[in-house]
Amino acid sequence: MSSLTYTADASRKIIKYGGSGLIAFILIWSIGSISIKAYKLAHPKYIAPTVRYGALPKIIFPEKQFENKRFTFEFTDDKTPSFSDQSKVYIIYRSTTKILAFEEGKEIAKQFGFESDPNEIGEGIYEFKNEKNNKTLTINVLQGDFKLKYPYLEDSSILEAKNVPNKVKAIEIAASFLESGDKYTDDLKNGEKKISYWQIADGNLKSVLAQSEANVVRVDFYRKKLEDKWEITSPQTGEASVSVLVSGDENNDKQIIEASFKYANIDRESFSTYPVKTVEQAIENLKNGNYWPSSDINSENVTIREIQLAYYEPITLTQYLQPIYIFKGDNNFVAFVSAVTDKYISRQ
């Protein structure tokens, strides 16, 4: 075989087997990379809680007298639920001074149609009146909360109104009201909305099942969940912190007869992670009476069937949105237990 022929034959073999080897190497490398990525995804590197805000203030729940219960626990498949050993604590932004907060409050009142100067009825709490439509707007400028009221229980035209709006229309009217005061935030727009029908009877509101029985309809606006999975809950089970009562009166001034807005401005991008109690530790808190009953019952014995991790919408002035455990039991019993470990909760 000539030198030239030998060289050509060798070159063909190198190209043939070298190409196959290269392809095999690329396949092995790709499979290995995918496997490594899958392993890392399934076994992420542990990152310790950052606790950047130091000791957090204790969650303040509304004052309520209650007696401790005897608890039993029955979970699906007899498995106690479990959660991560840490959770995010979010920053809440508020006005830095009372003067600035007051000016912001006046602007909100103006947008809702209240032009007159208010009366200060408490520390940072101002009452605005609209003599034309007989409505009152009370704003806590330090917390950003407000309550709008019209004396609808004394108005026979609302009692006799027949055009109580359906779900779609009621939500549209209520959302438009919030929008008029620049209070229809993105997380309310993107959160769940629920309606309930109510009847005015004997000077009070009574819940009814059907639109045909109702004088008014309440729209509850729930925030969009944090990370699309963690609920932000109000103190009162079954009620959102933002709600609007809509009547069936044809007079536009009487459509919105009550509104409650308790809303903390949460920065969803500003947070620190904190250690949280295990479910077993939270259960011990519950058994020892270290809980707050959002929905209590008379029975001394309660069977708990569900535990959730959620966030508590604060009712007091605070800079932090903190996680809680929610215990749900028979007969609509609901209890809250603070989730952050006691080590990182201030005792003051």
Strand-pair partners of 323:
311
pLDDT under 50: residue ranges of the chain:
1
Find tokens 């620190």 and name the residue: 272
Where are the chain's structural domains? 1-45, 70-91+268-344, 95-265
| 70-91+268-344 CATH choice from 3.30.70, 2.30.29, 2.40.128, 3.40.1350 | 2.40.128
Predicted pLDDT at 347: 80
As to burial, measured by CB atoms within 10 angstroms (0-12 exposed, 13-18 middle, 19+ buried), residue 80 is: exposed
pLDDT given at position 98: 78
> Which residue type does 244 have?
V
HEC profile of 37-74:
HHHHHHCCCCCCCCCCCCCECCCCCCCCCCCCCEEEEC
Per residue in 9-51, pLDDT (tens digit) is 655 555 555 556 667 667 776 676 675 565 556 567 889 999 9
Task: Give pLDDT, residue 335.
Answer: 97
Cβ(87)–Cβ(339) below 8 Å: yes
Query: Could you read off the pLDDT of 238-293 as tens digits, one per residue?
Result: 899 999 999 999 898 999 999 999 998 899 999 999 999 999 999 999 999 999 99
Place of tokens 């909100």: 108
pLDDT, position 237: 84
CA distance 147 to 149: 7
Predicted pLDDT of residue 201: 82
pLDDT computed for residue 57 by the predictor: 95
Place of tokens 């035209």: 157
